[in-house]
Amino acid sequence: MDARSPKAPGGDALRDAAENLFQELQEHFQALTATLNLRMEEMGNRIEDLQKNVNDLMVQAGIENSIKEQMSIWSQQ
């Protein structure tokens, strides 16, 4: 005999529905996680592009120190 309490009518159906719901939630969570990771990677690429564009504009403007040089100066302070 099963060590659990006696089964209520419809208990198996309720358990199956809960398991299906949990599986569905897990799949949605995994999809959202993948989307979030992709968006974060895209954002990182855009930030890198922005930094390069700003650096190029600074060079065009005749500013001697690039962003990398300025950042290293700031980090030493």
Q: How far is CA 29 from CA 26, 43, 54, in A?
A: 5, 21, 37
Residues 43-62 pLDDT 10s? 999 999 999 998 888 888 88
Nearest to 70 by CA among 43, 45, 58: 58
The pTM of the full predicted model, rounded to 2 decimals, is 0.56
Nearest to 52 by CA among 69, 70, 67, 72: 67
Question: What is the CB-side half-sphere exposure of residue 76 using CA atoms within 13 A?
Answer: 6
Sites in the chain below the pLDDT cut of 70? 1-9, 64-71, 73-74, 77
